[in-house]
Amino acid sequence: LVAASEVVGHGLWLSAGGRLKLPMDIDVTHAADLRSWVPSADAVGTPFPIQNLPFGRFRRRETNEPWRIGVAIGDLVLDLRLARDTQGWTAEVEQLLVPLADGDLNAFMSLGTVPRRRLRRALSAALLEGSDQQDAVECCLVAQTDIEMSMPCRVGDYTDFFTGIYHATRAGQLFRPDNPLLPNYKWVPIGYHGRASSLVPSGHPVHRPNGQTKSSDSAVPSFGPSRRLDYELELGYFVGLPNPHGTPVSIEQAKEHLFGVVLLNDWSARDIQAWEYQPLGPFMAKNFASTVSPWLVTWDALEPFRAPLLRPDADPAPLPYLYDQRDMESGLFEIQLKTWIQTAAMRTAGNHPICLATSSASEASYWTPAQLVTHHTSNGCNLQSGDLLGSGTLSGPLRQASGSLLELTEGGTVPVHLPNGEKRLFLEDGDQIVLEATCHREGFRSIGLGTCAAEIGSALPLVAHGMGR
C-alpha cells in the first residue's frame, strides 16, 4: 500500500507521455492508477476521485447537528468528526483531525503546507483499495445528497483581483474604446476589497439587488431593482498559513501561504456599478452576494495541473518583488471553466442547462496566485487563514469565451440567443447560473472543483421595516 516515505518530492516530473517538464510537487497520492474502495470515486467524470480529496463544511440535512469538516470522495463525504474516532491513524494525524472534527477548517488551514500534505497522504491511504482502514472508515461516509453545506471556512477578508486580462480588456473597451487596458495593468496586480459577510455557499438564492442607477437620458438617478444583473466567473484562492502584520511574504514563499481553490461567482449589477464606481471603485454593485463552491480543492490536489504564466514577449517582466522563475514556469493551474444557464422556462420545459462559455484559467490569467499573495502583503498587510482572494473574471481571448454577460453581449447590446427562443442581455429572475471547473492532463486522473450554482430571485421589497428593537 501507500506509505508516507514513498513521496517523490518536488523536482522535474515527466508525465507518462514524457512531454511535460514542469517543476511540480508530485507524490504518490497523485498516481493515476490509484483506486478507492468507494465505487463512485472511480466513476468516469466524477470531480472527486481519490486523487482530489477536497474539504467542505457540512451537516446532515434537516438536523441541528454541529457543523463538521468532511472530505468528498466520489458521491460520498468522509465525515471527519466520525473518522477521528476510528482506529488506524498515526498520532500526528489524530492531532490534525481535532479541529476538523470540530468544524474549524481555519485552524487546520493555518498550519500550512506540511501538515496538509501529511493528512492528504493519510486520507489517501485510508480510502485506497485494499486499505486495512476500510471497515472502520466505511461507517464514516454519508451521501452528498443527504447533506447541506456552509461556507468551507470563516472568511475574515475577501479581496477581489482583476487578473483576467481579456476581461479587463473587453470591459475597458466599453468605456475607453481606444485605450481599453489602463497603463498600470501590466505592472500592478489590480485588486480591491470585497465584502466578506455576504459570501454564500452554492445553492443559496441570490436576490436581484435594489440600488441607485441613472440612465443617460435622465437628469436624476432613481432607486429600484437592477436591470443589468450579471454573473462573473472567477476562481477563489484561499489563504492557509497567515503572515503577521508588518511581515511581507516573498514571491518564493508565497505558495506556502495558499491552501486551496474554489469557484466564485462575483454577481455584479452593472447599472449600479456604472453610477457609483467613481472615484472609489465597485461597492453596492457587488456586495449583495458572492457565491462560492463548497468544496475547497487543495493546492496539493492541483499540483499535476500546474501551468506556466504565458505573456507576450513585448510585455514588461514583473518587477523583482513579483518575479520568481519557478512561479513563472508553473504558478498557474490548467483549469477548464464553464458557465451554464438554465432559465425558468427551460426548467419548466425540462430542458437541460446550456453552456454559455468555456475558458481556461491559465490562458485567462495575467498574474499567478503567488504574485497576488506577495503583492497583497508587500506593504505589510496581513493575510489571515481563511481569507479569500478572487481571481477576477477569467474570460478567454475570444468574446465567446467570456466569463460575464457584459462581455458576451458587448455591453448589453448584442443578445445571447438561447435554443428555446429566449434572449438574454442580462440575467432575468429565475435564471440559474452554474459555474463548473475541471482539470485534465494526460497521465493523470482528472479532478474537478464541483459546481457553484445559484438562481436569481426577484428583487426584495424596497423598504423593510421592523428590523429595530
Taking the complex as a whole, the smallest distance from the CB of residue 338 to a copy of itself amounts, in Å, to 26
Instruction: Kindly list the distances between the CA atom of residue 49 and the CA atoms of 71, 75, 121, 231, 441, in Å, as whole numbers in the listed order.
Output: 11, 9, 14, 29, 14
Distance CA 435, CA 295 (A): 13
Q: What is the DSSP letter of 309?
A: -
Which of 95, 134, 150, 212 forms a contact with a copy of itself (CB under 8 A)? 212
CB of 463 to a copy of itself, least distance (A): 5
Give CA–CA dist 55/293, Å, rounded: 11
Choose, by CB under 8 A, the member of 5, 87, 379, 413 that binds a copy of itself: 379
| Euclidean distance between CA atoms 271 and 269, whole angstroms | 6
Cβ-based nearer residue to a copy of itself, 77 or 235: 235
What letters, b where the CB count within 10 A reaches 16 and e where it falls short, cover 15-24?
A: beeeebebeb
Taking the complex as a whole, the smallest distance from the CB of residue 466 to a copy of itself amounts, in Å, to 8
Q: Is 209 in the site for a copy of itself (CB under 8 A)?
A: yes
Which range binds a copy of itself by CB under 8 A, 1-9, 47-55, 248-256, 293-301?
248-256
Residue at 447: amino acid letter: I
Q: Assess 179 for contact with a copy of itself (CB under 8 A).
A: no
Round to whole Å and give the CA distance between 139 and 84: 12
Out of 60, 207, 326, 440, the only residue in the binding site for a copy of itself (CB under 8 A) is 207
- Give 143-177 as a 3 state SS string: EHHHEEECCCCCCCCEEEECCEHHHHHHHHHHHCC
CB of 379 to a copy of itself, least distance (A): 4
Catalytic residue among 10, 30, 167, 417: 167
Amino acid at 352: H
- A 10 A CB-CB count for 386 gives 25
Segment 48 to 87, residues that bind a copy of itself, using CB under 8 A:
none
Binder among 170, 228, 257, 306 for a copy of itself (CB under 8 A): 257
- Helix, strand, coil shares of the chain, percent, nearest 5, are 25, 25, 50
Q: Does 349 bind a copy of itself (CB under 8 A)?
A: no
Binding to a copy of itself in span 382-401, by CB under 8 A: 382-384, 387
Binders of a copy of itself among residues 129 to 168 (CB under 8 A) are 156-157, 159, 162
Q: Does the footprint of a copy of itself cover residue 253 (CB under 8 A)?
A: yes
CA separation for the pair 359, 418 (Å, rounded): 19
Of 262, 437, 447, the C-alpha closest to 340 is 437
Whole-number Å distance between alpha carbons of 17 and 258: 29
Q: Name the segment binding a copy of itself (CB under 8 A); options: 119-127, 196-204, 418-426, 441-449.
A: 196-204
Buried b (16+ CB within 10 A) or exposed e, 41-63: bbeeebbbbbbbbbbbbbbeeee
The residue from 54, 56, 211, 403 that contacts a copy of itself (CB under 8 A) is: 211
Q: Note whether 196 binds a copy of itself by CB under 8 A.
A: yes
Asked if 340 is part of the footprint of a copy of itself (rule: CB under 8 A), the reply reads: no
Closer Cβ to a copy of itself, 136 or 188, answer by number: 188
Residues with Cβ within 8 Å of residue 313, at least 6 apart in sequence: none
Site for a copy of itself in 266-295 (CB under 8 A): 269, 272, 275-284, 287-289
Q: Which is nearer to a copy of itself, 162 or 333 (CB)?
A: 162
Nearer to a copy of itself, 88 or 172 (CB): 172
- Residue 14 or residue 114: which is nearer to a copy of itself going by CB? 114
Q: Which residue, chain included where needed, has cell 475547497?
A: 296
User: Which residues from 433-452 bind a copy of itself, rule CB under 8 A?
Assistant: none
Q: Which of residues 292-321 bind a copy of itself (CB under 8 A)?
A: 316, 319-321
The minimum distance between CB 417 and a copy of itself, in angstroms, equals: 30
Answer yes or no: are the C-beta atoms of 442 and 450 closer than 8 Å.
no
**Closest approach of Cβ 299 to a copy of itself, in Å?**
12
Cα Rg, the chain, nearest whole Å: 22
Among 380, 398, 400, 417, binds a copy of itself (CB under 8 A): 380
The yes-or-no answer on residue 167 being catalytic is yes
Q: Give the whole-angstrom CA distance, residue 133 versus residue 125.
A: 8
Q: Of residues 215-244, which lie at the interface with a copy of itself (CB under 8 A)?
A: 220-223, 241, 243
| Packing angle of the helix pair 113-127, 91-101 (nearest 10 deg) | 100
Distance in Å, CB of 266 to a copy of itself, minimum: 12
Residues marked active site are found at 167
